[in-house]
Amino acid sequence: MKKKWAFLTSMMALVLLLSGCEPLLVLDPKGPQAERQASDIMLSIGIMAVIVVVVMAILAYVLIKYRASNQSDDYEPPHIEGNHIVEAICVGVPVLIVAYLSFVSVKSNYIVESAPVGYEDQEPLVVYASSSDWKWHFSYPEEGIETVNYLYIPTDRPLEFKLYSYGPITSFWIPQLGGQKYAMADMVTTLHLAADEPGEYMGRNANFSGKGFAENTFNVTAMSQADFDEWVEEVHETAEPITENEFEKLLEPGHLGQMTFTGTHLEFSPAPEHEHHAESDTEVDSESETHDHSQHEGHAEHTDHSGH
């Protein structure tokens, strides 16, 4: 009896403790991409909750109806070999659930990989987001600004992030604006986001990248377009330009606070866009020239030996 009351008391304490927790960031969306993903999460939770309730109800029914005290002393259960209805339910229902969730997932994937819904006709703000051990560098090529460990963005405008890394693979994630996406060393990946509401949001690296991973975070501030333009002007009036030597120091492993520069490192350390295609095209051209040259030499030798 004491164990029962101790268990109930601990459960009540846990419920009271959890009731004071802040809501999960992924379930508090502030943009169309995050809203779509939050709705998919709630859909999955709802389907799983229905399954759990139905299974528990069936379990309770079976335990009560077929309990030993509810049967006669000479009761023997009938011998049954298979039941087509039960087998159809046990196989068919999971197949239908998986098929439906697969359809929803594929559809949502195409939606979140495209321009945010409602922003298709607007020009996006392009930001190059690169990571190093253990910090984030944000380059605004159109505005001529670079920041470290913080990000200013306008609301009601699509955002196009170009992601890559100067170290190990990282994952760019702003939970209230959208899902995470990998940043890698030899290629650029693109992530489309948008912020519907002004506010302060948390961003982080969601992929383990060494001992400094836990503090590999950045702050995101969403503001009106007018306030964003004012910030850009202020940076150009007050911030120092970024240099190649300064950027090399920033890439050294360690943690830094928030920093602001005019200009971007893209001028002397461009993002690895289309490098693989360029290299492969060069190799193909070189092989083609070598092959053509060999054919030409062979043809010349054949002509000399034939006397023509």
pLDDT tens digits, 164-176: 999 999 999 999 9
Mean pLDDT of 222-230: 97
pLDDT of 306 reads: 41
The backbone torsions φ and ψ at residue 58, rounded to the nearest 5 degrees and listed phi first, read: -65, -40
pLDDT tops 60 at residue 300: no
Q: How far apart are CA 111 and CA 40, in angstroms?
A: 12
Global model pTM greater than 0.75: yes
What CA–CA distance (Å, rounded) separates 101 from 51? 14
pLDDT above 90 (res 12): no
Chain centre to alpha carbon of residue 257:
24
Indicate the pLDDT class of residue 295, thresholds 50, 70 and 90.
very low
Section 9-28 average pLDDT = 67
What does the pLDDT read at residue 148?
Answer: 98
Select from 130, 142, 116, 98 the least CA-distant residue to 232. Answer: 142
Give the pair of three-digit tokens for residue 261: 């520069």
Q: Decide: helix, strand or coil at residue 146.
A: strand
Cis peptide preceding 136, ω within 30 of 0: no
Q: How far is CA 189 from its chain centroid?
A: 11
Q: Rounded to whole angstroms, how far apart are CA atoms 280 and 289?
A: 14
Q: Place 139 in a pLDDT band, splitting at 50, 70 and 90.
A: very high
Q: Which has the closest alpha carbon to 176: 57, 74, 284, 28?
A: 28
Residue 133 per-residue DSSP state: T
pLDDT of 197 > 80? The answer is yes
Nearest of 222, 213, 210, 121 to residue 178 by alpha carbon:
222
Query: Exposed, middle or buried: residue 289 (CB in 10 Å: 0-12, 13-18, 19+)?
Result: exposed
Instruction: State the average pLDDT over residues 90-113.
Output: 95
